[in-house]
């Protein structure tokens, strides 16, 4: 039964990829511009579109021959620096703890669950894998941990190819969704487990256990059993257990999803503090929650349908999404089908809107040709409510009819039927909110809207 799990990428490609200097070697393969990026710390990745690397950083013959690899490279949005080391992190893949996915493809029973993932996590970087369920993000994490065997591609940890190593030889710390604390062991025994398994000298163990427990604030609970702890406390013990072995890489698989909302924000701050205390540990953080990703991550990799859709800093992804999927998943943007009308304007049905052409630095900076179809992304909170009869000169205005009003405490969410689309608008807590059926007008600034070519928008599914 193991044979059908191989994907379409033939096995003989795998060693070929592994042998190329690109994979075996240093930072040269990761980013031709990495050296300069490291010195110019403040350089925004998208400030110089011409010099950045594309999503598929290699051009080895083996890569070109593999059809899956080619299609994977073509499908990822062409964001400069997607696979490259972020500015400010020196020589990522070779710093201890860095993770590198080199065209990793994983298939279960003939179904591809991760398709040619190319991604580099720098040493000490926090990378969030963000995506809906079934996007392949957990599979990517399990490939790093060694619980799934890629059908093609290599996984590198700290510059070392670990694709063929069993999990226990990889030197990673992992925290899973339900923590998986060993129920028959006390908290201190749980934390000591990895140290004993790795035959750390006996005299050293109590000190390291105490250290890990203190780091997570669980010193007072050392003699308890996991069943005597609350969810948040179990979470802390699981993190302490993973940190006790001093891993170069920490894998967190939806670590907060089992906690209630209040605990979650507390743990989020806690994780950020832990990372400040352990600046050399790379963290791969799998989540479906954009808030967690935006709060914690240095960079976010957005996955959907087994593919990497987009990758960049939280600010970058939020302000300048490169695909409609990113726009709708990170920040829940409205996606409007528009037609280019020349000189920085687009037409949405009968309305003319001013926009920034194709974001900045994404793809061709020219904007769509006149009459071409494109997708306009506007976030709900970028829309402002104005009276229906006002006619401001500068701002873009959309007129429509309110179909529903939802009060959310700090905002009102308005659902508005306008120009053939259903728009979501989040407007500040109103004293007199409009009622369904009211005619209203919404305005937004050109800088708050991102225009995407229609082709890239096709991959995006509507996410409510």
Partner 1 sequence: MLVHSRGGRWTAWTVFFLLFLPVFALPFLVVLMASFATNWSGAFPSHPTLTHYQDITKGDSLNALTTSLWTALAASVLALVVGGWAALAAERLRGRQRRLLDTLFMLPVAVPSVVVGLSLLVAFSKPPLLLNGTREIVILAHTVLVTAFAYQSVSAALVRLDPAYEQSAASLGARPAYVLWRIRVPLLLPSLTAAAGLCFALSMGELSATMMLYPPDWLPLPVQIYGATNRGSLFTGAALAVVLMVTTLIVLLGMGRIRTRASYR
Instruction: Rank residues 227 and 431 by Cβ distance to partner 1 and give the closer one.
Output: 227
- Contact region for partner 1 (CB under 8 A) — 141-149, 320-328, 334-342, 343-351? 141-149
Q: Is the dihedral of CA 3, 9, 13, 17 positive or negative?
A: negative
Instruction: Rank residues 38 and 212 by Cβ distance to partner 1 and give the closer one.
Output: 212
Distance separating alpha carbons of residues 405 and 422, to the nearest angstrom: 13
**Selected binder of partner 1 within 6, 186, 224, 225 (CB under 8 A):** 225
**Selected binder of partner 1 within 72, 130, 156, 172 (CB under 8 A):** 172
Q: Is 220 helix (H, G, I), strand (E, B) or coil?
A: helix
Q: Is 456 helix (H, G, I), strand (E, B) or coil?
A: helix
- Contact region for partner 1 (CB under 8 A) — 167-175, 274-282, 284-292, 390-398? 167-175
Instruction: Rank residues 168 and 407 by Cβ distance to partner 1 and give the closer one.
Output: 168
Expressed in angstroms, the distance from the first to the final Cα of the chain is: 39
Strand order in the sheet with 334-342: 351-354, 345-348, 334-342, 373-378, 449-453
- Contact region for partner 1 (CB under 8 A) — 78-86, 114-122, 139-147, 411-419? 139-147
Dihedral angle computed from the Cα positions of residues 317, 318, 322 and 323, in that order, rounded to the nearest 10 degrees = 110
- Give the nearest distance from C-beta 247 to partner 1 in angstroms: 9
**Could you tell me the two tokens for 298?**
């240095």
Instruction: Rank residues 2 and 432 by Cβ distance to partner 1 and give the closer one.
Output: 2
- Give the nearest distance from C-beta 118 to partner 1 in angstroms: 24
**Selected binder of partner 1 within 50, 183, 369, 409 (CB under 8 A):** 183
Longest Cα separation, the chain:
78
Q: Are 385 and 424 in contact (CB under 8 A)?
A: no
1 binding partner 1? (CB under 8 A): yes
Instruction: Rank residues 241 and 322 by Cβ distance to partner 1 and give the closer one.
Output: 241
Instruction: Rank residues 69 and 245 by Cβ distance to partner 1 and give the closer one.
Output: 245
**Selected binder of partner 1 within 12, 184, 202, 389 (CB under 8 A):** 184
Q: Total residues at the site for partner 1 (CB under 8 A)?
A: 29
Instruction: Rank residues 71 and 198 by Cβ distance to partner 1 and give the closer one.
Output: 198
Instruction: Rank residues 241 and 424 by Cβ distance to partner 1 and give the closer one.
Output: 241
- Contact region for partner 1 (CB under 8 A) — 46-54, 65-73, 202-210, 237-245? 237-245
Distance separating alpha carbons of residues 281 and 246, to the nearest angstrom: 9
147 binding partner 1? (CB under 8 A): yes
146 binding partner 1? (CB under 8 A): yes
**Selected binder of partner 1 within 157, 242, 281, 330 (CB under 8 A):** 242
170 binding partner 1? (CB under 8 A): yes
252 binding partner 1? (CB under 8 A): no
- Give the nearest distance from C-beta 176 to partner 1 in angstroms: 5
Distance separating alpha carbons of residues 399 and 420, to the nearest angstrom: 11
Q: Are 22 and 93 in contact (CB under 8 A)?
A: no
**Could you tell me the two tokens for 236?**
């802390």
Distance separating alpha carbons of residues 18 and 58, to the nearest angstrom: 12
**Selected binder of partner 1 within 63, 87, 176, 416 (CB under 8 A):** 176
Distances in Å between the Cα of 311 and the Cα atoms of 119, 121, 282, 307 are 9, 11, 17, 11
Strand order in the sheet with 172-175: 172-175, 249-253, 282-287, 126-130, 299-304, 307-312
C-alpha 353 chain-centroid distance: 31
158 binding partner 1? (CB under 8 A): no
241 binding partner 1? (CB under 8 A): yes
Dihedral angle computed from the Cα positions of residues 122, 126, 130 and 135, in that order, rounded to the nearest 10 degrees = 50
193 binding partner 1? (CB under 8 A): yes
- Contact region for partner 1 (CB under 8 A) — 70-78, 174-182, 308-316, 431-439? 174-182
464 binding partner 1? (CB under 8 A): no
197 binding partner 1? (CB under 8 A): yes
- Contact region for partner 1 (CB under 8 A) — 50-58, 122-130, 192-200, 417-425? 192-200
Pairing of strands 152-157, 160-161: antiparallel
Q: Quote the Cα angle for 334-340-344, to 5°.
A: 90
**Could you tell me the two tokens for 142?**
């399990």
Instruction: Rank residues 170 and 307 by Cβ distance to partner 1 and give the closer one.
Output: 170
Q: Are 183 and 227 in contact (CB under 8 A)?
A: yes
Given the rule CB under 8 A, which residues bind partner 1?
A: 1, 145-147, 166-174, 176, 178, 180, 182-184, 193-194, 197-198, 225, 227, 241-242, 245, 251
């Amino acid at each position: 039964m193991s044979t059908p799990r191989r994907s379409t990428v033939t096995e003989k490609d795998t060693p070929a990829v592994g042998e190329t200097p690109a994979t075996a070697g240093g930072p040269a393969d990761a980013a031709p511009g990495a050296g300069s990026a490291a010195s110019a710390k403040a350089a925004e990745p998208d400030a110089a579109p011409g010099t950045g690397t594309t999503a598929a950083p290699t051009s080895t013959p083996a890569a070109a021959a593999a059809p899956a690899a080619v299609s994977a490279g073509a499908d990822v949005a062409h964001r400069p620096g997607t696979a490259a080391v972020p500015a400010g992190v020196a020589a990522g893949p070779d710093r201890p703890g860095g993770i590198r996915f080199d065209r990793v493809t994983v298939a279960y029973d003939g179904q591809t669950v991760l398709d040619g993932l190319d991604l580099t996590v720098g040493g000490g970087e926090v990378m969030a894998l963000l995506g809906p369920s079934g996007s392949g993000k957990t599979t990517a994490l399990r490939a790093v941990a060694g619980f799934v065997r890629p059908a093609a591609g290599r996984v590198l940890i700290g510059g070392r190819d670990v694709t063929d190593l069993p999990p226990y030889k990889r030197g990673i710390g992992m925290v899973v969704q339900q923590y998986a604390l060993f129920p028959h062991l006390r908290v201190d025994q749980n934390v000591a487990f990895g140290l004993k398994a790795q035959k750390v000298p006996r005299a050293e163990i109590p000190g390291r256990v105490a250290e890990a427990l203190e780091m997570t604030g669980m010193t007072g609970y050392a003699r308890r059993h996991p069943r005597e702890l609350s969810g948040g406390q179990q979470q802390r013990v699981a993190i302490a257990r993973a940190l006790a072995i001093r891993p170069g890489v920490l894998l967190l698989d939806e670590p907060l999803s089992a906690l209630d909302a209040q605990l979650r924000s507390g743990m989020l701050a806690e994780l950020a503090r832990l990372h400040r205390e352990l600046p050399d540990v790379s963290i791969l953080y799998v989540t479906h929650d954009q808030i967690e990703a935006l709060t914690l991550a240095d960079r976010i990799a957005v996955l959907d349908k087994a593919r990497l859709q987009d990758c960049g800093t939280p600010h970058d992804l939020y302000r300048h999404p490169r695909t409609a999927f990113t726009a709708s998943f990170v920040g829940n943007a409205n996606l409007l089908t528009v037609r280019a009308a020349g000189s920085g304007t687009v037409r949405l049905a009968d309305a003319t809107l001013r926009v920034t052409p194709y974001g900045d630095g994404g793809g061709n900076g020219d904007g769509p040709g006149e009459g071409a179809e494109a997708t306009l992304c506007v976030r709900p909170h970028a829309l402002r409510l104005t009276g229906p009869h006002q006619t401001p000169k500068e701002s873009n205005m959309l007129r429509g009819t309110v179909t529903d009003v939802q009060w959310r405490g700090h905002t009102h969410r308005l659902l508005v039927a306008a120009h053939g689309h259903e728009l979501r608008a989040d407007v500040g807590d109103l004293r007199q909110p409009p009622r369904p059926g009211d005619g209203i007008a919404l305005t937004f600034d050109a800088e708050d809207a991102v225009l995407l070519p229609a082709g890239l928008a096709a991959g995006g599914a509507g996410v409510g």
